[in-house]
Amino acid sequence: MASGNDIKAATATYNSFIKMATWGTIACVVIAAGVVGLIAS
């Protein structure tokens, strides 16, 4: 576990990871929808 002084840094890193994972997921869904749209047309 992180010591008391590292909790703020760990929380910031975790929050950054969650934001990037969320935006990455959204981007993948948009790209996949575009590819499906191209294939369907």
Per residue in 1-41, pLDDT (tens digit) is 556 678 888 899 999 999 999 999 999 999 999 999 999 99
Measured distance CA(9)–CA(20) in Å, rounded: 17
Spans of all domains in the chain: 7-40
**CB of 28 within 8 A of CB of 20?**
no
Q: What is the pLDDT of residue 7?
A: 86
Spell out the residues 6+ positions from residue 9 whose beta carbon is closer than 8 angstroms to its own.
2
Q: What is the pLDDT of residue 4?
A: 67
Q: What is the pLDDT of residue 36?
A: 98
Spell out the residues 6+ positions from residue 38 whose beta carbon is closer than 8 angstroms to its own.
none
Q: What is the pLDDT of residue 6?
A: 86
Measured distance CA(26)–CA(24) in Å, rounded: 5
* C-alpha R_g of the chain: 17
